[in-house]
Amino acid sequence: MAIILDMEIINGFSCDNISLWSAVGKRAVMGEEDKDEISTRRVFTRGAFDYLPDGDRYLSRAPEPQFGFAVIGCGNMGQEHIRNTILEGRARVTGVYDPAPKSVQFAQRSAAKMGVELPVYEDVGEILQDTAVDAVFICSPNFTHLPVLRELAGCGKAIFIEKPIATTVADAVEVCSLLDAHNALTRIGLQYRYKAVYQEAIAEVLQQQSIGRVHSVSMVEHRFPFLDKVDQWNKFNKFTGGTLIEKCCHYFDLLNLFAGSRPRRVFANGAQAVNFKSFEYRGEGADGLDQASVLIEYENGVQGNFNLCMFVPGSVEELTVCGDRGRLFASESARLGEETRNQVDVWLGDHGTSRSVQPHYAPHIHRAGHHGSTFYEHVAFVDDLLSGSNSGPSGEDALWSVVTGAAAQASIEQGQPVEVKQFMDKELCRT
């Protein structure tokens, strides 16, 4: 049991139509008695027992894949989803598609190190014709998500689409409409909800309501600059929609989640202060901001704020939620080259027991991508495929993460607060 707890210390909740999967909670509700064994086997299926004949393997026997996943886009996120599909074990990668040959070759070499051969599709049409494909992962550059989804819409296969779902509000609305009308399971890649520190925070604030009614929520992301991409598309607002959409939709999703409401008014300032000031690609200079501060007023009165800095030698994420009974602080931090340090503090004063914990996932899961959150995102996705349920996050959640970021970008450009309803009406009228 100690091994299982190390791998699956996450809690479930459902609050205000915002649902999140729970390994422990869902197992109890669904009565999946073999889940303990499956979880334990993940520890023992990483090569150390490969000398054994198949008939002598029990704990070290990998689960039989029950689903086939096709992956569109073999960049960092595509490779992360391939890696976690292999690690999770209940699905296999039927093949990949990416018009960039070097990306495909690198993905194939990486998969081969895990003992898996990756077939290559010629185009999206070939994926649609492959009856072995049960789900398609859209991991192509953000500005291509909508045209790819248009090809897949109504195909009868489950769709997993990476964040942000689109780079403009109008495109995000169309993505949501296509997902709502789709005839199979859909899922959004907002995997930060599955990070260990945020799972702990979700359990405390939303499930157990330890700190009472939430009145303010704030987040910090201080990190290194944007990494290299094919065609360097992430350096240009015309491809990303702006840094606050491309990178920060994760944090706006979490802010919206903890606030339990939609943004009413957004005020932001920001600039391109340090990064890529002399960068030029194909005769064009980078224009993405690398620092920003965002204030959010929610419809239910909760106050939110977010601070971004992208020229830091390391990575720091912080969440602070204050309620009428206490305060929660969660952090995930690492200087470059050092191990990540996780911390969650709950201060309750005379309302209860204050506590501090250091939540973490098993090391091999942590290393599989985004501190283990992508792995548990995959577990939840496969669970939903098996059960026919949809535990979220939803297309609507993803839409509002884009809307919040787009409103913040507009506020910076205009130098004044943005009323979100009027902003959305104006954005949709452009189409």
Structure confidence by residue, pLDDT tens digits, 218-238: 999 999 999 999 999 999 999
Q: Considering all CA atoms of the chain, what is the largest pairwise distance in Å, rounded to the nearest integer? A: 68
Establish whether domains 2-192 and 193-365+394-429 are of one fold. Answer: no
SS3 state of residue 385: helix
Burial 392-419, CB ≥16 within 10 A → b, else e: bbbbbbbbbbbbbbbbbbbbbeeeeebe
pLDDT band at 405 (very low <50, low <70, confident <90, very high): very high
CB distance 217 to 251 below 8 Å: no
Residue type, 282: R
Domain extents for the chain? 2-192, 193-365+394-429
* The pLDDT of residue 8: 28
Report, as an integer, the average pLDDT of 176-199.
Answer: 98
* The pLDDT of residue 125: 97
Q: What is the pLDDT of residues 3-18, one digit of tens each?
A: 222 222 222 222 322 2
- The answer for residues whose C-beta is within 8 angstroms of residue 277's C-beta and 6 or more apart is none
Give ∠ CA 309-313-314 in degrees, rounded to 5: 85
Report, as an integer, the average pLDDT of 24-47.
Answer: 45
How many C-beta neighbours within 10 Å does residue 114 have? Answer: 12
pTM: 0.89
Contacts by 313-317, CB closer than 8 A, 24 or more apart: 313/224, 314/222, 314/223, 314/224, 314/338, 315/222, 315/223, 315/224, 316/220, 316/221, 316/222, 316/223, 317/197, 317/219, 317/220, 317/221
Please compute, for residue 2, the number of CA atoms within 13 A of its CA located in the half-sphere on the CB side. 0
pLDDT band at 62 (very low <50, low <70, confident <90, very high): confident
* The pLDDT of residue 1: 28
* The pLDDT of residue 30: 33
Least-confidence region, from 19-28, 122-131, 193-202, 365-374: 19-28
Give ∠ CA 377-4-257 in degrees, rounded to 5: 35
How far apart, in whole angstroms, are the C-alpha atoms of residue 346 and residue 341?
17
The DSSP result for 112-168, as a single string, is: HTTT----B-SSHHHHHH-TT-SEEEE-S-GGGHHHHHHHHTTSSSEEEEESSS-SS
Q: At what angle do helices 35-44 and 23-30 cross, to 10 degrees?
A: 140
What is the enclosing helix (H) or strand (E) of 416? none
For the structural domain made of 2-192, what CATH number should be given? Answer: 3.40.50.720
Report, as an integer, the average pLDDT of 387-391.
Answer: 95
How many C-beta neighbours within 10 Å does residue 5 have? Answer: 10
* The pLDDT of residue 61: 79
Q: What is the pLDDT of residues 330-340, one digit of tens each?
A: 999 999 999 99
Please compute, for residue 308, the number of CA atoms within 13 A of its CA located in the half-sphere on the CB side. 31
- The answer for residues whose C-beta is within 8 angstroms of residue 352's C-beta and 6 or more apart is 210, 325, 326
Is CATH 3.30.360.10 what the domain over 193-365+394-429 is classified as, yes or no?
A: yes
* The pLDDT of residue 43: 55
* The pLDDT of residue 255: 98
From the number of C-beta atoms within 10 Å of its C-beta (0-12, 13-18, 19+), residue 2 rates as: exposed
What is the enclosing helix (H) or strand (E) of 311? none
How far apart, in whole angstroms, are the C-alpha atoms of residue 199 and residue 211?
15
